[in-house]
Structure 1
């Protein structure tokens, strides 16, 4: 989601209330699907501004016997929804109006599936919105606190380094990001000062030093108007009075050139937004404990290595632009050539006109769904004596009956959305690349 959001120059933030329990019992797969669907819609219908995911526990209902709930909300600054459409927005393929359908390609089954999944978890979902101002989608799930699974004790457990009393300056032009960082850092005992821009931040650093109460750490947003985080960091490094300051850079883009600059400028940490609380805490504790965290450890893991990858022709069938974008991003640095189709009917036309090594098939689509398209493909293969093309079903459902339904239609495998990159690449390797002789792929 961060990749998609940042490619549209939007801010993506996650605010978790300090009183939210660290461990709860629930269905992580369904919860992940709902959050992914809501964030995907928010990204699609927001052209500027921000998208904020918030989590907080809610009080007990009127009956004292009712459980507490955990409330999630996804707020955007997008186009909003007319009041007369709010009551039907969770129905299949509902769209606010025809012009939105043309421009944004519909919401598909995302909201309908989200409602079903939330209700299966024992919660409810609703939306508040104003046209041209934005929307906030809320949903709740029952809150049942639990404890983490027992883990083997390590030989020696290092004591946690306290951040109590550390003076930290947060420089970010986004109000929501500053609020989230202030709440988090204050919870850890830090003394926090905010600045809304690079020039203001530099002035705060100089003022605090002249008053004899210097900051120990500066957390900088890399992307700000007028003076960005790297320019501010250079000003800090060029000022002898501020040379002692530890710098943590937050960035929306995981670019190797920026990472190289961060290393050259001797930053203590370089974190990708939205920043995980644990990653931030560990970076600050490393600074407080006078340890240095290698910058590459703070960027997303590359995952375990895959076997040798051979060129493949792949047909991606998916009606949702966000999902197509994500899967294409996953396959960007592979030797795969990917064609796309927005529904089963278009997919069938492309299948008849080309030869593919593998098909990635969304199962819930308008016009012609994936089940029908798969059955038609299998029928044509049988009639024409063509070799069976591996088809991997992509579905928002994680239920056993959905797996069986996909297999019965003729699919070879079943992946549940949101699709994980490593699982997708492994599935492609298993069902297509293993049967391809190097140099023989069409």
Structure 2
């Protein structure tokens, strides 16, 4: 069975000390002295009505008692009146008022017993009506203290009700029942009054608290507005200034009187006004359909000094105000914008300088490598001709000097790229054994010329197919082993290779029995341009960049380098690099050195704008069955390729009119259009940059070779390409 819910009642919030104090104060205010004196007046009236009908002594005693109780209550109220502004203890005063009210109710209850006489029904009715009326008045005026009402009603009604009940006849039993019913009725009404008073007081406190919160928020907002460094303005839809914060005057240099009556468009630069007006229209239009958006824009505002200040403004509509109004928050970014412009100009200048530097280095590389290709190529051809012993020595000197110059150029280019953060590492599968053989081939003759034994020891079972930048690893090994040979006059140079910290990390160690390095020079050994003493520098030569480049390359490859050395005992350079094991399928695509056997008959297209380089290639292939057609630029190469059949193409990259990459793309497009099988195209470039290799492969080149290119290397390359084409 469901219990009906009284929708008129609500669960009141819990009492607080302030609410209790307010209830006590309401009790005091609703029971002033004139009301309390009615007890004496009504008591005297009863004595007069019953005088001569009852024994006067009990009546006078009762009248004296009710008079004393009334005077005590009046005194209590006056003491409260005097103390409430100083010391209000709600619990103490509430208890005191309840005691006084209970005593007054008890006096009327005793009076009901005393003055009720069945023989005098009319006068008895008067006393009962008087008790009921006084109780009703208490329920209306003093219900703020619920305990006071309950105890007063109980003390005033219960004694006469019991006395009448004990008379015993039916009529008096009915009267007693009516008094009991009236008691319940009074309590019900009193409870309603009590709840009403309690709710009223609580609402007053809540409203007072809300008002206080509003005032505090208003004060807080005013403080924020007055102390905000940003400019805050309220603007009407037509741009008229409705309000401005004090910071507006500080920011723009105007007084409040000067700003009064102005519109924002009186302050905004004419060139910025159209954009600002459009933004405001969009903002108002979006707000009109219920979309609350903000608009941000930069605009120039006129300062009182006449200069223009750049402000970053954010505008938003103020609620649903009608007529529409906007609040604009603006911050002065003049100095920041000037600083950003300066930084932007500095950055642009640095980027231009970097591009100029990169272009200069690329040009220098091209312009040096191109003639060096011809010099070394001719020296190689000359070495193969009949020469005397002295002439052979001259040729070897040419070759040594040329390679030394190329090494210096490579060091400078690598150092510049590393400093500029432009170092890019390749990630290709290679065979470590073949790479070590190449290093031994490059440096073996140099070691043998000094009577040194050059040895390599590879840990048994070491996986030789690796993935990484083989060219950079070769560069590191050539530098370290070359240094060991350079500074060792007798004994041997040993290279060891083993795993370090897992299969992906390899440790390389280069040990020698050379002159060693003093301890005081070890700390700065890997610094740029660091060399040993001046005597060694003059004796051995070098830029001092090699070890610095090696260290940075090793760092980039995820490893570290260390050195141990004793003067007169030799040195050991050890480094680790991350070279994961390579995929066998991918390893099959590695271009391996091939024996220079006879080339098959083939028609070759050679595109190079350098007459010297064309001559070198012509002489390199002069005793082969290959037929060569030369093109002096990329456009001519494309024309010749579309008119004749070629088995392979040697394409220089930097050429006038049309570069090698563009020419390659056109050739590949022509092959696809005419359903021709793609011919091998070798990118020949005087630049050894990794990004050039990637660009060459992206353009459609089959492989990439950096100049200078030796005859053996060229023949091996052509043999592999032509064999692959024939297959």
* Same topology, TM > 0.5: no
Does 1 or 2 have the higher relative contact order (CA < 8 Å, sep 6+)? 1
TM-score by length of 1: 0.36
Higher helix share: 2
TM-score by length of 2: 0.23
